[in-house]
Each structure stands twice: as C-alpha cells, then as structure tokens.
Structure 1
C-alpha cells in the first residue's frame, strides 16, 4: 500500500485475475462526492446579484474538497490502466459519484468502453466475490436524477435563502440564526413540526368524568379497580346520576369471564427509515448520528448497506447463514441456535423497492469489538431486530372479567404470556403479565369504594424524531439517504429545538417562517410540491423522463413562486414585526461608526454584527464562538471606524486567541498593521 496524490486515499496494488485473465490490479478510493455544483464566481456576491437571476444561469462543477486533490489522484492512478471497475455505493448517489470518477479516469484508459459496475450490498468476502464475477454497467439515468435534484435544490434554496436572509437580518436583531434558509425539502420538514405546534396551540381542553370502583374480598390478593363500560363522560350531572344509581349497592356480580388468545406480531425487516425511528425511540440517538454510526458499521463489515427502502428479503438471501453467524454470540447466541434448531419462521412479506436488501448483520460482535458505545448499541439493536424478524409471534391469553353493579356494567382485563416468541431477543417493556384473579360467573365481590374522578383532555405531543421520519416517508419528502440531513438542518438553523423525549418544538423563527410562507403561498411549505419533484427525479432514474425537461419545469415553477414571494414579503414581515425586535432596539452600544461618528449597536445574536442606526448600515463580524469588545478606543486611519477586539476561547492546544479589526474591513487588518496604525496615531498626538 502507498499514498497517491490525495492525502486521504491509499493505493493498493497486487497480482490477480480479471475476467479469467491474469491482471495487475490497483485499488483506491474516493471520500464522498468528487465534485459539487455551484454558481459561477460572479454570481456569488450577495450584495451585487439579484437572487431572482439565480434560477436561469448554468451551474459550474467545483471540487467538493480541494484539499483532497481527488481529481489529480484519480487521473494519476488511472494512467496506463485498461479497465475501470466502479465499487461505489449502490444507490443513486453512488451512481452519480461513479460518473464523477469516470470523468477523470476514462480519458486515461486504453479503451474507453472498458468501464464496469460492481453491484453489492455488504462487504462480506462472498458478496464481494459474487459482485466481481458478475459485473454490470453504470446507470447514467440514476446519476442524472441526482444532477437534477442538486440543481433544483441549489437554485431554489440559494435564491430564497439570500433574499430572506438579507431582508430579515437587515431589519431584526434577535433572529438568532446565521442564515434564514429555505430548502425544498427542509421547509416542508419544518412545516410538519409547526403544524403539530398549531394543533397544540388551538387545542381546547375539556373536562371529562369517569366512575372509579374498587373491589376487595377474600378472593383477591389485592384491591381490584374496575373500568366503567361508559368510559369517559363530559357531563358531570350525568356521571353523578349514574353513580347515584349504584350508591346503594354493596356487591359487584361477575356476569361473564372470557379468555382469548392474542398475539403481537414479530417485526418486519429493517429499512433505513425504520432504523432511524428505532434508534431515536430506543437509543435516544438522533437520525443524523444514527446514520453516521450505521455507515461506520457498514464500512467496518458488520452490517449490509444501511441506505435502503426495501423491507423484503430477496429469495436468494441466505437467512440461515446470516443467523448462523450469530450462534456463538454471548448475548443472543442461544436464541440464534434455537432458531437454527427449530427452523426459521418465514419472514413477513415486506416491500421490495428494488434497491438493496434490508439492513442485516453480516458477522457477530460483542461490545468490546467497538471503539464507541454508539456503534455497539446500534449493532445490538439491528442484530436483535434481525433475529426477531425470523422468530415467532408473541402469544398471550387475554382474560376479561365483566361485572354488573345494578344496571351499570364494569370490567377488568388481564394478560398471561403463553409464548414470548420474538420478545425473548427484542426486549419490550409492554408485554409483562397483568394478573387477574380466577373468578367465576355469579361470584360476588364487595365494593370498597365508588367515586367520580375528573381529568382534562390533553393536546397531542410535539412530534418526535420518529414521528417526523414517518411523516416524511409517507409524504415523499427526501429519500432514505437524505431524511436525517433535513431534520438536522432545521435543528442547526434554530427553526426547532430538541427537547426531552427527542421531541421537536418549533422556535419563534421557525413558526414565523412557516406562517409567513402560508400567508404568501402555501405551496412553498406543503409536502406535495416536493413529493412531485422526488417523483419526477424517480422518472429520470427509471429512464422515463429527461433530466433537462424535469429541471427546467421545476425551476420555472419555483421562479414564479419566488417573484410572487418577493412582491408579497410584507405579509411575512408583519409576523416578524410582532415576534422579533428591530435592529435599532437590539444589542448594546459598542463602537463609533466611521461615517457618522455615532455609536453602533453590537448585535450578539447570530449572526454577530454591528449596526449603525443613523446610517442604517450593518457590519458583519466573525461568527465562530468569538466575543467582542472595544479596542483601546483606537480608530482605523483608513476609514475612521473604531477598532474592536475579537477574542476566542482558549483551546486545548494553546491559549486564548484575540486580535483587533476594523468593522469596515473585517479580516483585512492583521495585528502588526493595527499596531502600526496605533503607533502612527500616538506619534501624531505627540507631535512627532
């Protein structure tokens, strides 16, 4: 092994065979996308470029990470090669990266037709060997579908984001967000959260009443509370009347005892969305974090590819072998061995999306095999779930005892486990036995107490991450590869805050944005528009639509919506006025403006900046965790602005970092220059 031109990619070379002939094989890698798309440099100036013009120009291709020197690496290593075999992730994003690699490698090949695509779902040797001996070809349609989505998202997102960021940050000082961003996926994701918030705010609690009856007697080991057949009543007088009808009764009579076998169904196979839901519910692990951990598990050879929509095991999938890998595991090996001995239960039918098999463990591991507890916890959850899919349903007996007290009916229910099935390996706290004493029809039990209790109806809770993932999946917002990113974005933008129970509560900014969009154009936030774009991108991937036509159509629609949004932004601004504080009324006096010599306000909410009320001008300051104070009341000789001192917290590797700068020319002045200016001023004051 050796390093190539890229500092992040090694090169492995060895003798082998290819398509039945001896070959010298060279293997290297990329680190995600080689390229990204962007606007030409002349369109990247927020002050000079009208955002409305961003829908039409052609985009340019840029290196995703110039420090990686990936194009040079690929071109250098491919010189003299005859064939290219692509082993990128087997999804649309991976297919798109295939063509980025081909862009650099194919011109170096002796024959440009010798390009092959390996299709695989795990990094197990057997699967890789099968892929190597059954090579196909890259799918350009899938790659183009990614190009279409990237262009639509870039142009739409940047146009709206630039306009509303400049507009609202230029008026309000306490938005507490560096970017007031819009995204064709991000914004409908936020809409789900705000819709639930609206439901909670408009909820009107109602008082309801129930009758509580407690029984005691020699037949009972402990008091028995009965459930009233009428359930909840919203009329106190009616509830009181019914209670008065049984006040004279001292005994409850058993009228019926029924037993019924019920079952809790084993889970279906695991796809990406289900994995993210369960990671949030069971492990307290956010979608973005869970996706990153799953990718590490895949790259380390512990699980199959974690980005899949499929919940149906392929006919050729060797489930028995996958279970046998777990037979000696100290945690669940006994259960796996029993499955192998008694026979695997046929898994649920599931859904075949035609992409990858469900997420499955491909080797055994224990906690000590992982460097992080998160990796172990997720692997443990995935493996137990896999074994549960091949187990039997949980079976239990439901007992229900019916009572009468006068003309009123009551009951009590219990549960007794018959066969735990899958719950032996996939723990749930919901299937514990609920004891009900053995009673017979006609038995009488003494009534210890009768009372009416009241409570209020409760609003629905805020959406959990799991709830939100389900809504996104149902409404076609994002893909299995991108949903976690969209949820993370609305958190990072300060549109929602994550509370206990991993529930997403919209912030003032998130609420104002969604309500503002709805006041102007409801289609900017509802899921249907984005779902249509995702559907059209799928048509491109399936070869049923042209990339240029889909892109042009979508951008035309969004351009029209953008123009209408700009013309009616005052409708959103009215909401911001009632929610946020103007720049002039925000912050504290800090330093003098070089133009009018009046003190400017320091706005310490994101984005940190200075605002001159007299000139109505805003001056950006460094954003990354810095503090700001006046620097010796010195002024910049270039523009007469008072200098400010920027200080950063001390780091583990060094002390506190600080330097002065001029607000008019942030980043242009370095310490030696400032000190020179200071010495010049001192010299002038001394008359030298």
Structure 2
C-alpha cells in the first residue's frame, strides 16, 4: 500500500528545510500575550531663557506594575519638595561612519529606508550591475582593497545635483584640518572579506535616463550616499547626563508622636511607606552628615540626557540616519530646584511585533541560514508557499498553513524541522567541505542519516500532522491508522533524533 506520507500535497512539502514561520518572536507568544497596566513618574523642569527650555527627566525605575506603590513613590517625591542634582557627567561622543556595503546589509537598508523586499532589491541591483552602474551586488566583503582608486570614484559623484557638492568637498577639504570633512579611506575593522568581490559601490555616475524605474533610482542613490559616507569622517558631538534625586530624607527619630517598628524606625500614622518628613528641605551640610552617618533614606532618581552635535560630517550626505538631541541647560552638582511638573502617567504593555524583513535577514545571517546569494530567495519561497504573509507594515505574519506545520512537527516529535538548526548545520558542513576541512562523502552521509532519522519519526506519526493541519485548514484526508502499513525497518522506535534539530558535533 502506498505510504500515507506520499499523500501529503506538494503545498505542504517544506523542501530544503525552510522554516515555515520566520523565527522569533514566536507567533504563539504574540497570540497568547496578555497586556498589563503600568505606571511611571514623570518630572519636568522649566528653565528660563530665550526661549525657555523644558527639560524632561526620565524615572530611573522605568515603570512599575503596582498602582498603589506608584502613588506612594509619587507622594514621596511630592513631599520632598525639591530635586537635588547629584551627578553631572558627559563628554565627547562619536557616531561612526558606516562600514562598506555588503549584500545582506544592502537588503536590510533597502527594506528599512526604501521599503523594498530583499528579492526586489537584488533584482534591481543585478540590473544596475549589468548596466555597469553598480559593482557586483552579491558579496560578503566589507573592506576595500587598497588598489582601488576610491578618489576617482568619489570624483564621478561630483556630477550629482543632490550630493555632488558634498563629494567635491571631500576631495577639496584639507586632510590635515581635524575639523574639515576631508576624504578618509573607508573603515577596515571588519573581518568580512570573501576575496572575490569588493564591497558594493557605484562604478560610475548614473543619470536619470539610466534607470528603468524609480526603485532603481532610489537604490542607486542609497548605494552612492552610503559609499560617500564611508569615505567621510565620523560625526562628533558632546553628550551630557544630569541625575537628580527627588524625595530623599533623613531617618526621623522616634518620639512620643510616632509609632516605631521592631527595628526602631519611625513609621508614623500613615504607615511605613507614607513618609512624612518634618521639613521639606535640608542644607547640603545636613544631608552630607546624615549620609555619612547612614541616616539618609535615598529618594527617587531621575535623569535627563542631552546631545550637542559639533561636526555632522558623514551625516550630511547620509540623509537616512539622524543623530540629534537637545542641549541641556547648565546644571551643577548640588543645585536644587522645584519641578514644574511631577505626575503619574499610565500605560499598557503591547505584544512584541512580528518580524520585519530587515530583522529576518539579520537572524538568518546570525543562524547561518542561506548565503548572501540565497537569503532573498528563501524569504520569497516561504511567502509563495503560503507559510507567511507580509503585511502593510512589511512585517511577516504566519498563515494557517505555516502554523499548522509547526504544530504538526511538534506533535510528531520533529519540531526541529521548523527551527533553523538543521539547515544551519548542513550549510556549516558545506562550508567545511569547501574549505577542505571535511570530506564531501562524510557530509553527505551525515546529512542523509539525519534526514532519514527525521523521516522515520515523521512516517510513524504522520496522522499527528494530519490532525494539526485539520485543525487549521480542514485536514489532509489521511486515515489515522494509515501509517500502520509502513515498516521503517527500525525496531528502536522513535530513535530520539528528530526533536532537537541539531547535528552532532564535528568532534
């Protein structure tokens, strides 16, 4: 009798071990998410000036999930009356220019900034390469060879009406002037170099008539601006952070009007958490003496951060990225002030968002799924097979078929089929063969043994897959006992080899 696994329609076959639902966050976690209410204390200070400046202080606790405790802590701050600056720190800050562009990064940036899918990005980049406009777009290299005339490539970009003046300034600026944004050789701190192709860069300047569509124009602009940013100086700024304590107070001494707990600390009629200091303020000397004596109760801590950008440099051409902030007014340790606003705000937690294409590419790279030449195709396949759909926000949401497969794999004991481990291990072994550290025969044998082990387990429990699909899609039409007609030739039952989806170590 024909085995029931052969009855599974082609739409359910995963081929090449593609995970039907893109990695984390788990769709089940999103579906089962229960929102929680939270509260935070907000503090603002209005600083006189022209114009006046409002400084927002962030509560260092972040948020708490107990409204009663939040109210108690707010009252403590209100009773404190004054905020005291306890720390001021800051210094020069650098925002580094980007590294030269490789394929996966190009796909991520195009998804983030241009809303292009990975496969569309590669299709248009290939066309620009064939026209001699861009370098070869499939590369893992992030370091330029010193033999390439980068100055000449920058010179070509001076024709642009949009970034041509920036390119000209790179070439004309005095390289010995530390404040001038003069040409710099791109970063060489990356170890990624396939030694076959250079990073992606414009080979020549392209005019409007060179592009077949707007996507090509936008993609070329992204590559050109990225290249010029790589040849620029880092952005320089000065950041500052002011930390303020609110509601600190000295431990009160017990007297006839206060009730004391067993430890001797005065509690008062309102209870241990409702602090009622006898005075609203204390001098610096009094506070220091109490702190030294261990008789000071710390208040709530708040901080404000500021940034002043001194030299934008590469950010002037890389319009996709922003680096900005508000410069804080001068504050010194020991300064005291009464907040202009001190209140409790409420919020509610939200479930994690589904994966974006940019995030998925990063996870595939981290887990070793696919190469720069195949990742876009993998992502396209899981959509074509109706495992996931990309929503209007360019995030992947699982389809019933993808969820059914994952649930079926788990029920059969081969949930590793829906995880990245199997494919990643196979690709690592392929790389080992290519590097001469493993024999091809050993790699094929290992892969075949692993796949047979998983196949045997799945063959024994295919009815569980049918049930999972039935719950989501209406079933495969398989008889629950159809697997009884199949003998896998293995008397050891499950064998325990398919659930984890990981290969044995090379050792």
Q: With structure 1 as the length reference, what TM-score do the two structures score? A: 0.56
Correspondent of 1:564 among 450, 453, 457: 457
Aligned position for 1:373: 214
**Equivalent residues in 2 for 1:264-663, closer than 5 Å:** 264-341=95-172, 342=175, 343-348=182-187, 349-350=189-190, 351-407=192-248, 408-441=300-333, 443-520=335-412, 521-547=414-440, 550-581=443-474
Displacement, 1:184?
A: 2.3
Task: Report the CA distance shift for 1:532/1:228 in structure 2 as closer, same or farther (over 3 A).
Answer: closer
Unaligned segments of structure 2, at least 5 residues = 176-181, 249-299, 478-507
d(CA) in 2 for partners of 1:206, 1:246: 25
CA contact (8 A) 2:466 2:476 kept: no
RMSD: 2.6
Aligned position for 1:181: 13
Displacement, 1:461?
A: 1.1
Displacement, 1:508?
A: 1.2
Aligned position for 2:26: 196
Q: What SS does structure 2 have at the residue aligned with 1:330?
A: coil
Displacement, 1:373?
A: 0.5
d(CA) in 2 for partners of 1:301, 1:185: 36
Moved more, 213-222 or 286-295: 213-222
Does residue 164 of the first structure (1) align with residue 8 of the second (2)? yes
Task: Report the CA distance shift for 1:51/1:424 in structure 2 as closer, same or farther (over 3 A).
Answer: farther
d(CA) in 2 for partners of 1:365, 1:458: 45
Task: Report the CA distance shift for 1:201/1:421 in structure 2 as closer, same or farther (over 3 A).
Answer: same
Task: Report the CA distance shift for 1:583/1:203 in structure 2 as closer, same or farther (over 3 A).
Answer: closer
Displacement, 1:194?
A: 6.4
CA contact (8 A) 2:82 2:337 kept: yes
Task: Report the CA distance shift for 1:420/1:51 in structure 2 as closer, same or farther (over 3 A).
Answer: farther
Displacement, 1:204?
A: 4.0
Aligned position for 1:236: 67
Moved more, 467-476 or 201-210: 201-210
Task: Report the CA distance shift for 1:292/1:446 in structure 2 as closer, same or farther (over 3 A).
Answer: same
Displacement, 1:440?
A: 4.7
Displacement, 1:545?
A: 4.4
d(CA) in 1 for partners of 2:312, 2:407: 49
Task: Report the CA distance shift for 1:573/1:562 in structure 2 as closer, same or farther (over 3 A).
Answer: same
CA displacement, residues 410-446 of structure 1 (integer Å, 9 cap, x when unaligned): 2222211111121111124531332433445555544
Displacement, 1:477?
A: 0.9
Displacement, 1:305?
A: 0.8
CA contact (8 A) 2:115 2:394 kept: yes
d(CA) in 1 for partners of 2:451, 2:104: 29
Displacement, 1:548?
A: 5.0
CA displacement, residues 452-488 of structure 1 (integer Å, 9 cap, x when unaligned): 1222333321110011111111111111111101101
Task: Report the CA distance shift for 1:524/1:531 in structure 2 as closer, same or farther (over 3 A).
Answer: same
d(CA) in 2 for partners of 1:181, 1:299: 35
d(CA) in 2 for partners of 1:424, 1:325: 19
CA contact (8 A) 1:261 1:398 kept: yes
Unaligned segments of structure 1, at least 5 residues = 1-47, 53-159, 167-178, 585-688
Correspondent of 1:207 among 19, 23, 37: 37
d(CA) in 1 for partners of 2:476, 2:462: 18
1 or 2, which has the higher strand percentage?
1
Aligned position for 2:481: none
Displacement, 1:550?
A: 3.3
From the CA coordinates, give the structure whose radius of gyration is larger: 1
d(CA) in 1 for partners of 2:47, 2:365: 53
d(CA) in 2 for partners of 1:214, 1:488: 49
d(CA) in 1 for partners of 2:31, 2:92: 42
Aligned position for 1:246: 77
Does residue 221 of the first structure (1) align with residue 52 of the second (2)? yes
d(CA) in 2 for partners of 1:336, 1:231: 44
Task: Report the CA distance shift for 1:515/1:355 in structure 2 as closer, same or farther (over 3 A).
Answer: farther
d(CA) in 1 for partners of 2:24, 2:405: 10
CA contact (8 A) 2:315 2:322 kept: no
Q: What SS does structure 2 have at the residue aligned with 1:192?
A: coil
CA displacement, residues 368-417 of structure 1 (integer Å, 9 cap, x when unaligned): 43121111111110111111112111211112233333323322222111
Q: With structure 2 as the length reference, what TM-score do the two structures score? A: 0.75
Task: Report the CA distance shift for 1:356/1:506 in structure 2 as closer, same or farther (over 3 A).
Answer: same
d(CA) in 1 for partners of 2:424, 2:23: 17
